């Protein structure tokens, strides 16, 4: 083949607690992450609560301190006093409290201790369910861990495995003592018994199957030599693991679990395409098209977990996007919808370069099939490219070379060529001769159509999913797997039968036609027929802007207002300014103009106030209109908006209008429903004394957006004891940083000295302003944390919570319960009998599991709080990392389940606790506020993870006062 010659984050943070390295990491931790956020915030202003605070509680004040006054960034109803406890001392106390030394249970190292399970739950109707966990029995063998070093270094796990397989083939019967090792493809090798050496260097020759030089002039295969050093690292046995599983040892022996996990994955890693903890192959079902030059492969996820029933193998079906094995010209035409008969623009070339960088392609012209990795495209079209012949003098055109050498007349000489090799000595290939190698993962962001196609193709009802999981276990054949047998592992082929309970739904309070009304939901849902919102909002000044041509906006608004009024809202029939038909190509200008008209109208009417609600009918076409509308309304104009999809609005269905009315009510400061137990002050550890419930989440950029910031969002309840209204704050932080950086922070002001701020402090002060009580109890639901990050997140964020509280008032340390909410796990629960299902065939809402498949010692549970709609329901996994409030299992499980019925946007229970859900919504909303479209940037420069300075615009004060993110 011819060769051609030729940010740091912008926020300032001082004296912040540093993340403490985790001393307890999980070898089978699942990655998670999601992506939203603004900083700062002001004290909330809500209308007076519909119900007075319980008379038994006494309004508290933040007592003044004699310490030197410290300026506060947030206003508060009374004087806030500074912290007199040093940050260093407080951090030490937090770590000491979290690190428990229990004499009765041996501990190998000082490690973070999470709370013991306070017993098992008893509430609810007892049932049994099946879980996709398969019990493991492991023989008592000595497991040995060896460090592996390969020189020259190999980036590919597949090639590393090829090297090790060749080594085993050569030396298993001699130097390896007839042992069958389990190699993880990187630096670790495990054996069931000792190798006959502690350190040894092997020389391995690996034949490269690529074959041929770049010109295809020789058929000789290339042979590469590697030096492999295997050195003893440590020895472990099953005793420690058995002690841990029997709750006689605190520390989980993760190295033992890692050895068993690697042994169970060796065969699959060689047979299938590996992606994280999942395996994919066409052998699990024919690939299906996703569009844009991509297709999906079916596969399965696999992970070992320590549980109450012993070790369990968690297996779940999975699907993932892959590149279609088609010609590159086909891919470019499909992916970018381009006409290849015309010359591409520079912008098109940049997009193609980004899409194809790192993709392997095959060339079959000439002798044999050769594979190359693409690292770019040529700057010039193919017809202008030349290269120097072997005589180092004569130059020849690439298109002439292919015509003369291979008798190929190139069809697309105006397209750029694909570039392999390096920048100093590039190798160019015509796109039309390159075919994408099969089995390559597509790691870029999927568009909306691709996501929809993937979900549609992989959506399975519970019986089908359960059957497929059983088939995967059977197809693998663990009992005949030579590596699995070598390590003495036996995998049961039956799904685990698990004890579960179905919790009763809470009673909800509404207003009925004759006064107060109560509803008992059935199967996770209810309706509001003849019911009114418990605390209906008031909308006096509103208007509507319509960017669609397919709907009568006046008629729609009239129907929507009638619905809002029927649900109890005081809603003016006449808009502040006439309903506007606007140009969808001038969204920002149209919104600004409407805002001016509203201000002029209010001034003319001599009315004090502002536009309370703007109904926005979205354009008919897909695009980023919604993003722009929310950004302009919430960060520039101070408008609370309700967007409407024209394809739904034109039908004017009552259910759709009712759902809109629920969202509108909370956006104007109302409250849709409350738990009857909250009204009667019967919720344990919530209504007895002022309690604030937090939800927190961090969302991360989509794959391919390598320099965009992560966005953290924290919400907190503002209406104790009813815990239905949540105020939110957002903040940017470094790319893919999971720990929330701005929970508490201080800066040194030149005039005011040390200034305390941060999300926790601001929300506690807002709670005090709203309720006139300072929180005596904090319940913190933290979303988006994987098991391997538990220790780091808890140490850092608990420390921040403590410092934020002390910064408000010396000695103010409310009791905290810190619960991680996990949705991105692979445990699924299947009903045993038909009498245990909802209409979708899933397990019933309220199903809770805290036995068998849960942690042997710690306080965790699975809760399926919602009714299934399609596919197989995924229960939420709640894991308590810290608990000063001493919740019992029943108390926390019931509280969490009951809160799931207070979600403001629908009359259904939801799958995760609403504070965490709201934080997730808010974080994603804040992503719309960033102007830069990172997905169009060229992230292929090798500077992965470098942070650009993205300043998130502040949300307007009046918008922050309501649940605008709903």
Same domain, 546 and 602: yes
Query: Could you tell me the pLDDT band of residue 672, with boundaries at 50, 70 and 90?
Result: very high
How many Cβ atoms sit within 10 Å of the Cβ of residue 234? Answer: 10
> What share of the chain has pLDDT > 90, as a percent?
73
pLDDT at 702: 82
Per-residue pLDDT, 298:
95
* Cβ pair 87, 229 in contact under 8 A: no
The helix (H) or strand (E) run that includes residue 882 is strand 876-883
Q: What is the pLDDT of residue 942?
A: 39
Does the structure show a pLDDT above 70 at 488?
yes
Residue 615 pLDDT exceeds 80: yes
Q: Is residue 723 part of a domain?
A: yes
Same domain, 678 and 664: no
Q: End of a domain among 437, 463, 487?
A: 437
* Residue 321 pLDDT exceeds 50: yes
Does some domain include residue 378? yes
**Band (24; pLDDT cuts 50, 70, 90):** very low
pLDDT at 90: 72
What is the average per-residue pLDDT within 937-942? Answer: 38
The CATH number given to whatever domain includes residue 624 is 3.40.50.2300
34 confidence band (pLDDT: 50, 70, 90): very low
Q: What is the pLDDT of residues 716-747, one digit of tens each?
A: 999 999 999 999 999 999 999 999 999 999 99
Rounded average pLDDT over 467-478: 94
Shared-domain flag, residues 755 and 803: yes
Q: How confident is the model at residue 483 (pLDDT cuts 50, 70, 90)?
A: very high
Residue 624 lies in a domain: yes
Average pLDDT value for residue range 294-308: 97
Q: Which of 620, 645, 668 is where one domain is finished?
A: 668
pTM greater than 0.85 (yes/no): yes
Q: What is the CATH number of the domain that holds 386?
A: 2.170.260.10
Is 42 within a domain? no
Query: Residues 682, 753: one domain?
Result: yes
Reported as a single tens digit per residue, the pLDDT across 865-922 is 999 998 999 999 999 999 999 999 999 999 999 999 999 999 999 999 999 999 999 9
- Residue after which a domain boundary falls, among 406, 437, 468: 437
Distance CA 505, CA 473 (A): 36
Please tell me whether residues 921 and 793 are part of one structural domain: yes
Cα(467)–Cα(456) distance, integer angstroms: 19
Whether residues 422 and 550 fall in one domain:
no
Count of structural domains, the chain: 4
- Residue 655 and residue 545 share a domain: yes
Q: Are residues 646 and 683 in the same domain?
A: no
For residues 169-186, average pLDDT = 96
Query: Phi and psi (nearest 5°) for 757?
Result: -155, -170
Q: Which of 417-421, 430-434, 442-446, 510-514 has the highest mean pLDDT?
A: 430-434
Question: Cα torsion for 204, 209, 213, 219, to the nearest 10°?
Answer: 100
Residue 71 falls inside a structural domain = no
Question: Does position 837 have pLDDT exceeding 60, yes or no?
Answer: yes
Give me the pLDDT at residue 834, please. 82
Check residue 931 and give its pLDDT: 57
Please check whether residue 552 lies inside any domain of the structure. yes
List of residues 6+ apart from 258 with CB closer than 8 A: 27, 28, 188, 190
User: In Å, what is the CA distance from 180 to each residue of 8, 165, 259, 486, 487?
Assistant: 48, 10, 13, 7, 9
717 and 642 assigned to the same domain: no
| Residue 129 placed within a domain | no
Let me know whether 679 and 645 are in one domain.
no
Same domain, 635 and 767: no
Q: Is the pLDDT of residue 220 over 60?
A: no
Whether 243 maps to a domain, the answer reads no
Task: Using a pLDDT cut of 70, give the percent of the chain over it.
Answer: 86
Q: Which structural domain range is residue 617 located in? A: 536-668
Q: Which residue, 531, 599, 544, 598, is CA-closest to 571?
A: 544
Cβ 134 vs Cβ 496: under 8 Å: yes
**Residues contacting residue 273 through CB under 8 Å, at least 6 positions apart:** 279, 280, 281, 297, 299, 322, 439, 441
Statement to judge: residues 613 and 654 lie in one domain = yes
Q: How many residues does the chain have?
A: 966
Q: Report the mean per-residue pLDDT for the chain.
A: 87
Average pLDDT, integer, range 772-779: 97
């Amino acid at each position: 083949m011819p060769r051609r010659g030729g940010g740091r984050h912008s926020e300032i943070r001082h004296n912040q607690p540093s993340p403490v390295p985790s001393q307890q990491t999980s070898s089978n931790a699942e990655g998670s992450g999601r992506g939203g956020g603004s900083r700062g915030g002001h004290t909330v202003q809500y209308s007076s609560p519909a119900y007075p605070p319980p008379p038994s509680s006494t309004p508290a004040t933040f007592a003044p301190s004699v310490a030197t006054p410290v300026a506060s960034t947030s206003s508060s109803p009374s004087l806030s006093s500074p912290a007199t406890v040093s940050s260093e001392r407080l951090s030490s106390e937090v770590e000491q409290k979290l690190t428990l030394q229990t004499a009765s249970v041996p501990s190998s190292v000082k490690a973070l201790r999470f709370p013991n399970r306070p017993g098992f739950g008893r509430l609810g109707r007892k049932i049994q369910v099946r879980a996709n966990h398969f019990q493991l029995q492991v023989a008592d063998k000595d497991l040995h861990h060896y460090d592996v070093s390969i020189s020259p270094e190999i980036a590919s796990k597949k090639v590393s495995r090829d090297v090790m397989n060749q080594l085993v083939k050569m030396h298993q019967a001699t130097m390896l003592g007839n042992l069958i090792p389990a190699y993880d493809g990187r630096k670790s090798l495990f054996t069931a018994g000792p190798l006959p050496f502690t350190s040894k260097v092997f020389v391995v020759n690996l034949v490269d199957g690529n074959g041929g030089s770049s010109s295809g002039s020789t058929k000789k295969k290339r042979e590469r030599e590697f030096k492999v050093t295997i050195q003893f690292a440590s020895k472990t046995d099953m005793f420690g693991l058995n002690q841990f599983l029997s709750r006689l040892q605190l520390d989980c022996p993760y190295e033992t679990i890692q050895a068993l996990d690697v042994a169970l994955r060796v065969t699959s890693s060689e047979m299938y395409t590996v992606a994280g903890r999942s395996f994919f192959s066409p052998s699990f079902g024919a690939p299906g098209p996703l569009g844009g030059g991509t297709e999906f492969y079916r596969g399965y996820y696999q992970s070992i977990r320590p549980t109450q029933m012993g070790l369990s193998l968690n297996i779940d079906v999975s699907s993932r996007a892959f590149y279609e094995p088609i010609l590159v010209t086909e891919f470019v035409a499909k992916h970018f919808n381009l006409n290849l008969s015309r010359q591409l623009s520079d912008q098109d070339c940049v997009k193609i370069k980004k899409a194809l960088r790192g993709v392997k392609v095959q060339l079959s012209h000439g002798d044999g099939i050769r594979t190359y990795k693409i690292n770019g495209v040529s700057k010039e079209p193919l017809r202008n490219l030349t290269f120097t012949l072997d005589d180092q003098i004569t130059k020849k055109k690439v298109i002439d070379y292919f015509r003369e050498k291979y008798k190929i007349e190139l069809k697309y000489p105006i397209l750029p060529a694909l570039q392999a090799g390096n920048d100093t000595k590039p190798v160019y290939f015509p796109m039309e001769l390159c075919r994408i190698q099969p089995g390559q993962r597509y790691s870029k962001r999927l568009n909306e159509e691709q996501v929809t196609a993937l979900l549609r193709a992989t959506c399975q009802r519970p019986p089908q999913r359960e059957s497929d999981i059983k088939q995967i276990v059977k197809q693998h054949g663990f009992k005949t797997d030579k590596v699995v047998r070598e390590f003495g592992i036996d995998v049961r082929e039956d799904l685990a039968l698990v004890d579960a309970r179905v919790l009763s739904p809470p009673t909800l309070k509404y207003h009925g036609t004759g006064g107060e009304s109560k509803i008992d939901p059935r199967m996770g849902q209810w309706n509001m027929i003849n019911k009114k919102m418990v605390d209906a909002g008031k909308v006096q000044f509103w208007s509507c802007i319509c960017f669609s041509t397919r709907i009568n906006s006046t008629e729609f608004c009239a129907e929507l207002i009638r619905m809002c009024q029927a649900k109890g809202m005081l809603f003016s029939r006449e808009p502040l300014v006439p309903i506007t038909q606007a140009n969808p190509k001038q969204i920002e200008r149209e919104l600004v103009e409407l805002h001016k008209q509203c201000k002029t109208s209010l001034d003319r009417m001599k009315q004090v106030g502002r536009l309370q609600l703007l109904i926005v009918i979205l354009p008919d076409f897909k695009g980023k209109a919604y993003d722009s509308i929310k950004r302009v309304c919430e960060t520039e104009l101070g408008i609370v908006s309700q967007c409407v999809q024209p394809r739904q609005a034109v039908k004017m269905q009552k259910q759709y209008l009712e759902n809109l009315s629920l969202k509108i009510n909370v956006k104007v400061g109302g409250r849709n429903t409350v738990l009857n137990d909250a009204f009667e002050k019967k919720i344990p550890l919530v209504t007895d004394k002022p309690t604030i419930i937090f939800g927190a989440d961090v969302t991360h950029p989509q794959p391919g957006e390598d320099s965009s910031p992560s966005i953290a969002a924290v919400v907190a309840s503002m209406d104790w004891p009813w815990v239905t209204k949540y105020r939110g704050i957002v903040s940017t932080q470094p790319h893919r940083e999971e720990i929330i950086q701005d929970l508490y922070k201080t800066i040194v002001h030149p005039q005011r000295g040390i200034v305390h701020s941060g999300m926790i402090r601001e929300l506690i002060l807002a709670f005090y302003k709203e309720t006139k009580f300072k929180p005596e109890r904090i319940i913190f639901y933290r979303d988006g944390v994987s098991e391997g990050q538990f220790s780091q997140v808890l140490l850092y964020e608990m420390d921040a919570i403590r410092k934020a509280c002390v910064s408000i008032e010396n000695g103010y340390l409310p009791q905290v319960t810190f619960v991680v909410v996990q949705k991105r796990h692979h445990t699924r629960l299947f009903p045993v009998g038909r009498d245990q299902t909802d209409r979708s065939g899933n397990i019933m809402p309220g199903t809770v599991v805290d036995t068998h498949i849960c942690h042997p010692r710690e306080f965790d549970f699975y809760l399926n709080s919602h009714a299934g709609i399609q596919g197989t329901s995924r229960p939420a996994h709640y894991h308590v990392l810290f608990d000063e409030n001493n919740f019992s299992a029943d108390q926390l499980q019931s509280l969490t389940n009951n809160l799931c019925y207070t979600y403001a946007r629908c009359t259904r229970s939801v799958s995760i606790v609403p504070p965490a859900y709201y934080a997730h919504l808010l974080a994603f909303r804040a992503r719309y506020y960033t102007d830069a479209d990172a997905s169009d940037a060229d992230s292929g420069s090798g500077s992965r993870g470098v942070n650009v300075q993205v300043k998130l615009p502040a949300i307007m004060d009046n918008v922050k006062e309501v649940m605008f993110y709903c």
